Amino acid sequence: MKAAIHQLQYWPGLRFFAKLRAAELFIYLDDVQFEKREFQNRNRIRTPRGWQYLTAPVVTKGRFSQKINEVELDRGGTWLGDHLQAIRFNYARAPFFAEHFPAIEKLYSRDYRLLADLAIATMDLLKDAFGITTPVKFSSEFKVDEASSARLAKLCAAAGAGEYLSGAGAKAYLDPNVFGYAGIKLSWQHFEPRPYPQAFPGFEPDMSALDLLLNCGPKSMEWL
């Protein structure tokens, strides 16, 4: 069985879902340290001027070593409504906006305390809309204490996977020997982003996969 592992993200991008689609089991990495200024609580949407971040504000003061599944959202302000309005404003003319906006609106109507709950809601919405049926588990289910490459190899072993599918960016830090010692084949994702129709002229790569869904609908899988 081929497993892939990735940290929870808010409105993840195309690489995330291409890897999710290619795996036979996907493990949401939810019990590792939260990293500020990464993509665990933000991603990008297309605008007439290029792109903008949708960033979910989180409580980090005095919580330097908190895990992703412990991070609380800053529930003050109007950011949930602001994010919904940004999606409505920038995608109102996208071909598949009307079809998917009710589900997006429902997502933003809920009361979230934890970043993990919000991130999972966005991941599930896109996973279902793309028709991806790969089963998912959470790393916290396995109670693995190792770090770095050893954690990933141990998670694969605990899940009964004989192969680990990694994003190509991890070549800079993954130790292949750890997987070899564990009897797990290490393979690499080969994903090349290709232009697809967007709501505004030109093409901006590395948007949230929400951009792909609202512009391409059922044809989205051609770019995953």
pLDDT in tens, 195-219: 999 999 999 999 999 999 999 999 9
Question: Would the pLDDT of 188 be above 90?
Answer: yes
Cβ-based neighbours of 143, under 8 Å, separated by 6 or more = none
How far apart, in whole angstroms, are the C-alpha atoms of residue 74 and residue 114? 9
How far apart, in whole angstroms, are the C-alpha atoms of residue 174 and residue 163? 14
Question: Would the pLDDT of 62 be above 80?
Answer: no
| pLDDT class of 61 with cuts at 50, 70, 90 | confident
Cβ pair 19, 204 in contact under 8 A? no
Question: Would the pLDDT of 99 be above 90?
Answer: yes
Cβ-based neighbours of 197, under 8 Å, separated by 6 or more = 215, 216
| pLDDT class of 187 with cuts at 50, 70, 90 | very high
Question: Would the pLDDT of 12 be above 80?
Answer: yes
Query: Counting beta carbons within 10 angstroms of the beta carbon of residue 109, is it exposed (0 to 12), middle (13 to 18) or buried (19 or more)?
Result: exposed
Cβ pair 177, 14 in contact under 8 A? no
Enclosing H/E stretch for 210: helix 209-216
How far apart, in whole angstroms, are the C-alpha atoms of residue 52 and residue 207? 9
Q: What is the pTM of this model?
A: 0.95
DSSP label at residue 22 = H
| pLDDT class of 221 with cuts at 50, 70, 90 | very high
Enclosing H/E stretch for 2: strand 2-7
Question: Would the pLDDT of 145 be above 90?
Answer: no
Enclosing H/E stretch for 51: strand 50-55
Q: Whats the size of the chain, residue-wise?
A: 224
Inter-helix orientation angle 14-22/115-130, to 10°? 70
Residues paired with 186 in a beta bridge: 164
pLDDT at 60: 85
User: Which tokens hold the place of 77?
Assistant: 């302000």
Count of domains observed in the chain? 1
Domain ranges, residue 50: 2-223
pLDDT at 112: 96
Cβ pair 33, 67 in contact under 8 A? yes
- The 10s digit of each residue's pLDDT in 44-53 is 999 999 999 9
CA-based torsion, 169, 41, 223, 28: positive or negative: positive
